[in-house]
């Protein structure tokens, strides 16, 4: 499966590029790869898995610390995503 850049993640999943950058700087969000100083890439399967984990944690009322779903206290929501 091909690696995709943040703008393609936005196009395919609707997650804003700035949101992805924020999650990377906080050490949360889907797994990503740095291929160079300005080259960030994601595997779509990793994004799917991460989103599924967030959905399951949200539905059962439990979330892992360090994930957007687990940061509900004091967090804000931008475009439907906790930050």
This prediction has a pTM of: 0.67
Judge whether residue 20 has pLDDT over 80.
yes
Contact in structure between 55 and 46 (CB atoms under 8 Å): no
Task: State the average pLDDT over residues 10-31.
Answer: 96
pLDDT band at 77, cuts 50/70/90?
Answer: very low
The more confidently predicted of residues 31 and 64 is: 31
Contact in structure between 58 and 82 (CB atoms under 8 Å): no
Q: What is the pLDDT of residue 18?
A: 97
Sort residue 29 into left (φ over 0), alpha (ψ -120 to 50) or beta.
left
What are the tokens at 25? 């700087």
């Amino acid at each position: 499966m091909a690696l995709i850049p943040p703008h393609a993640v936005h196009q395919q999943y609707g997650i804003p590029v700035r949101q992805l950058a924020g999650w990377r700087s906080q050490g949360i969000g889907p797994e990503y790869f740095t291929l160079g100083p300005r080259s960030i890439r994601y595997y779509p399967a990793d994004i799917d898995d991460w989103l599924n984990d967030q959905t399951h944690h949200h539905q059962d009322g439990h979330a892992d610390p360090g994930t957007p779903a687990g940061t509900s206290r004091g967090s804000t929501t931008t475009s439907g995503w906790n930050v």
